[in-house]
A and B are shown apart, each in its own frame.
Chain A
Amino acid sequence: MEGQLAHIGAGIAGLGTGIAALGVGNVAANFLSGALRNPSAAASQTATLFIGIAFAEALGIFSFLVALLLMFAV
């Protein structure tokens, strides 16, 4: 029973990766809308874009890690 509950928990933790995808999409969408308004400044800000995406994605990876821990370590 406890093993099954851990699997259910892993599935719920997996939701977090999808929500992190929303965050990554949000960063990219806002970057694009800003870049289209001022294309000349866009190229200098790609590093900031990647930093933003990395920070948003890290939390999704955390939930993926929780799912993995529930699957294999608990």
Chain B
Amino acid sequence: MATETHGVETGGLEFHPMDQFIVSPLFGDDASVAWYTITNATFWMALAVLATFAMLVLGSARRSVVPGRMQSVAELAYGFIHKMVEDICGKEGLKFFPYIMTLFMFIVMANFLGLIPTAFTPTAHFSVTVVLALAVFITVTVVGFVKNGAAFLSLFWVSSAPLALRPVLAIIELISYFVRPVSHSIRLAGNVMAGHAVIKVFAGFAAIAVISPVSVVAITAMYGLEVLVAFIQAYVFTILTCVYLKDALHPAH
């Protein structure tokens, strides 16, 4: 504690809880960001890719019969996603397993690396998650039309409903289809951003001496919850990708 000004009883935030999401260049004094600038966002995304690479490639490099710690985690992750894709999309969905595995590993690694104090969380940014969700949306739409042709449109024509209801249902289904990338991306970014902002809000309360113990306990509890959320949101993003893909592969209602 170099200065005691932080402990002023009037309290209030010394920093803004949303400051942690500011994208800024890592090198140089120039604050402007061009497409090639190395910012904290690109840095932590690259770290997430490197962490995935390290875990999966180094973990499976030894190929011992009795797996070590690294290898069993890598095998667990692989088997977990493989089973998820097979259960939801069926055998023919396994063609898309590499893509879904990549998505899951990138999101889960970015989320977990973002939990390191002072780290930057790329998945808390809509710009990152919207790209991921749009890629899924475009893939699903293209795969649906390539695999089924015009029959893919039967996704919107609910044949089990009464005939009079079908046009109304078709409009609703159409809207819900196009809202998918929106909710898909906002769910991930919103959850991650909200959790990180809440931790920073409690950290701001630590400046007020009376409630600072409460604040420390609250930060610890929230952090535990955030570890859970980091995994569950990656899981939910992946499982929804599988569900959307299943719609494209088997559009019949």
Whether chain B is bound by chain A comes out as yes
- Interface residues of chain A, those whose CB is within 8 Å of chain B, are 47, 50-51, 53-55, 57-58, 61-62, 64-65, 72
User: Which residues from chain A contact B186 at a C-beta distance below 8 Å?
Assistant: 58, 61-62, 65
Whether A72 contacts B240 in the complex (CB less than 8 A), given A47-B84, A58-B187, A61-B194, comes out as no
Are B88 and A61 closer than 8 Å at their CB atoms?
no
Are A57 and B239 closer than 8 Å at their CB atoms?
no
User: Which residues from chain B contact A64 at a C-beta distance below 8 Å?
Assistant: 190, 194
Other-chain residue from A54, A62, A65, A72 in contact with B236 (beta carbon distance below 8 A): A54
Other-chain residue from A47, A50, A65 in contact with B190 (beta carbon distance below 8 A): A65
User: Which residues from chain A contact B37 at a C-beta distance below 8 Å?
Assistant: none
Other-chain residue from B18, B87, B232, B243 in contact with A72 (beta carbon distance below 8 A): B18
Mask of B127-170 contacts with A, CB within 8 angstroms, 1/0: 00000000000000000000000000000000000000000000
User: Which residues from chain B contact A51 at a C-beta distance below 8 Å?
Assistant: 236, 239-240, 243
User: Which residues from chain B contact A65 at a C-beta distance below 8 Å?
Assistant: 186, 190
Number of residues on chain B facing chain A (CB within 8 A): 16
Are B187 and A57 closer than 8 Å at their CB atoms?
yes
CA distance A55 to B66 in the complex (A): 40
User: Which residues from chain B contact A54 at a C-beta distance below 8 Å?
Assistant: 187, 236, 239-240
Are B187 and A47 closer than 8 Å at their CB atoms?
no
User: Which residues from chain A contact B232 at a C-beta distance below 8 Å?
Assistant: 50
The 9 closest A-B pairs by CB, nearest first: A61-B190, A54-B236, A58-B183, A58-B187, A50-B236, A61-B187, A64-B194, A47-B239, A65-B190
User: Which residues from chain A contact B18 at a C-beta distance below 8 Å?
Assistant: 72
- With both beta carbons as reference points, the residue of chain A lying nearest to B83 in the complex is identified as A47
A and B contact pairs by CB, cutoff 8 A, 8 listed:
A47-B84, A51-B240, A51-B243, A53-B236, A54-B187, A55-B183, A57-B191, A62-B186
